[in-house]
Amino acid sequence: MAKKVRKIAVLTSGGDAPGMNAAVRAVVRASVFNNIECYGVYKGYEGLITNDLVKLNARGVNNIVNKGGTILKSARCLEFRTKEGRIKAKNTLDKHEIDSLVVIGGNGSLTGALLLEEEHGINVIGIPGTIDNDLVGTRCSLGYDTALNTAVEAIDKIRDTASSHNRLFFIEVMGKGSGHIALNAGIGAGAEEVLIPEQNMGLERLLDSLKKSEKSGKSSSIIVVSEGDKIGENVFNFSSYIEKNLPHYEIRVSILGHIQRGGTPSCFDRVLASRMGVYAVDCLLQHKSKIMVGIIDDKMTATPINDAIKGGQSLDKDLVRVCDIISI
Ligand code: F6P
């Protein structure tokens, strides 16, 4: 049970994700609405260690709901992983009499929040902010929907070239250890194959499947590959294996990379971020701590951070089946 809330700080940490700004705005405004002072911390946990924070009021977060990236900046802070680093962070919080922290980020960032609570008694609430969508306790994390749409738009464009030149394209999408973007963007963009870390498709099966596609009359193909598949192959290993075995195919590799993390957040992400930010402050006011807010069946949920970070949110098996059926 969290103690009474006096002052709240909010930070964004880890890889940036579209919707983080909308979430910061919601946390600040919900705090102000409840007559609680709110501080924005720069560069994630690094700003807590170096005392780099600013008091924000409702007007301080004007015109950011539509902006990608994070106005608070983000970082993966190595010093915060040490006990000494976390003591410095606690000292900064004490200096400003801040007792509650909202952390917007992914797995590593929420793990850090948990340690701050356990070692120093700070009330912590996590908001899932990562395009990977790999946290347990929410159907979507912030930025995932936008990243998915960015990936689909890019794959659609590549398909024009693939079909004009009768080429086979391997397209790598983001998702460290998590196939959510690959599977959903693959289905959305009509990919012939999707390779994800949750499933070992095997090179021979891929080869067989491409041969079958060719026989059925397909002259070009799109294969979406998540960074890091189950057996540690990368997109270049796949392409050279297929090149060797299907030499008549003209093959190209395209890595979408950080284009998927940037850009204007989708309306879905803006609304989700707004709901999550308000709910994070509601949870603090209800004396909750060590929880990550989420959305399940369109309702706000609170999951212990301990469970949220335990392991990737599992992929819907039926989606894999749908993908197999519609890509014949
Ligand atoms: O966790 C989000 C993510 O975009 C992953 O999909 C990707 O593997 C990683 O971050 C890239 O991180 P960086 O921007 O530090 O290279």
Q: What is the pLDDT of residues 142-161, one digit of tens each?
A: 999 999 999 999 999 999 99
Nearest CA to ligand 1 atom 6: 175
99 and 16, same structural domain?
yes
Question: Can you give the CATH number for the domain in which 115 is found?
Answer: 3.40.50.450
Both tokens of residue 157?
A: 């464009």
224 and 78, same structural domain?
no
63 and 17, same structural domain?
yes
153 and 117, same structural domain?
no
User: How far, in Å, is the centroid of ligand 1 from the Cα of 305?
Assistant: 21
206 and 113, same structural domain?
no
- Run of H or E including 133: none
User: How far, in Å, is the centroid of ligand 1 from the Cα of 59?
Assistant: 31
From 205, 231, 261, the end of a domain falls on 261
Order of all β-strands in the sheet with 100-105: 53-56, 37-41, 7-12, 100-105, 123-128, 291-296, 299-304
Mean predicted lDDT score pLDDT of the chain: 94
80 and 13, same structural domain?
yes
Would you say residue 26 lies in a domain? yes
29 and 15, same structural domain?
yes
Tell which atom from ligand 1 comes closest to the C-alpha of 176.
8
Would you say residue 320 lies in a domain? no
Q: Is the pLDDT of residue 2 over 70?
A: no
- Run of H or E including 18: none
Q: Is the pLDDT of residue 229 over 60?
A: no
Would you say residue 324 lies in a domain? no
Pocket test residue of 172, 261, 309 for ligand 1, highest count of atoms within 8 A of CB: 261
Beta partners for 170? 223, 253
Predicted confidence at residue 200, as pLDDT, reads: 78
Question: Can you give the CATH number for the domain in which 227 is found?
Answer: 3.40.50.460
Domain limits for position 225:
144-261
Predicted confidence at residue 1, as pLDDT, reads: 64
* Burial state string for 90-112 with b = 16 or more CB within 10 A and e = fewer than 16: bebbeeeebbbbbbbbbbbbbbb
Domain total of the chain? 2
288 and 255, same structural domain?
no
108 and 67, same structural domain?
yes
Q: Is the pLDDT of residue 199 over 90?
A: no
136 and 38, same structural domain?
yes
Distance of CA 323 to the CA centre of its chain: 22
Q: Is the pLDDT of residue 85 over 90?
A: yes
Would you say residue 321 lies in a domain? no
32 and 74, same structural domain?
yes
Predicted confidence at residue 26, as pLDDT, reads: 98
pTM above 0.85? yes
253 and 170, same structural domain?
yes
C-alpha distances in angstroms, 116 versus 73, 86, 99, 313?
Answer: 20, 7, 11, 24
Per residue in 117-149, pLDDT tens? Answer: 999 999 999 999 999 999 999 999 999 999 999
Per residue in 18-27, pLDDT tens? Answer: 999 999 999 9
Would you say residue 277 lies in a domain? yes
